[in-house]
Amino acid sequence: MTQAAFLDEVKWNSEGLVPAIAQDARSGRILMMAWMNREALCLTIEKREAVYWSRSRNKLWHKGETSGHQQSVEEIRLDCDGDVIVLQVQQKGGIACHTGRESCFYRVLRDGEWQAADPVLKAPEDIYGA
C-alpha cells in the first residue's frame, strides 16, 4: 500500500487532524491524547517516536523535545471508523503529562469533584525550568 493510500484511510477532521491516544505498551494505561496531522503521522512512522500537532502553538510537536520524555512507538492502530489513532508507546522517563505525572488522566470524579489520584513524579519547573 502506498503512503497516500494508508493516509487516505484516516478520517481527518475539518482541520486535517485526527485524535491520537498514547497508551503504555506494557501496562495498557492511557497516557495522553493529542492531535496528529498527516505530516505528524508520517514523521511518527519514520522516527518511531511520537510526533503530534500542537493546536495551541500551531506547529509540529515532537513529544519530549523540551522535557526529554519521548515516546518510542511500538505499534500504531486505527479504529474501526478510521477516526482515532492509538499509539502503543514506551514512555521515556515514565512521565507523559506536563504536570509531571505518569498520565494526563490523573483526575478521578469523586463525590461530584475532580480529584487528583496520581502523584506528581517530578515538578514541572524541574522538567521545563522556571
Grid cell listed for 78:
486505527
Of residues 2 and 107, more confidence is placed in: 107
- Is it the case that residue 24 has pLDDT exceeding 60? yes
Q: Summarize the chain as % helix, strand, coil (round to 5).
A: 20, 35, 45
- Is it the case that residue 26 has pLDDT exceeding 70? yes
Q: What is the pLDDT of residues 65-112, one digit of tens each?
A: 989 999 999 999 999 999 999 999 999 999 999 999 999 999 999 999
Q: What is the pLDDT of residues 39-57, one digit of tens each?
A: 999 999 999 999 999 999 9
What is the set of domains in the chain, with CATH numbers?
3-93 (3.10.20.810)
The mean pLDDT of 19-42, rounded to a whole number, is 98
Residue 44 CA to residue 20 CA, distance in Å, equals 11
DSSP H or E segment with residue 5: helix 3-8
Residue 22 CA to residue 51 CA, distance in Å, equals 11
Compute how many other C-beta atoms are within 10 angstroms of the C-beta atom of residue 53.
22
The mean pLDDT of 6-27, rounded to a whole number, is 97
Question: How are beta strands 71-78 and 59-62 bridged, if at all?
Answer: unpaired
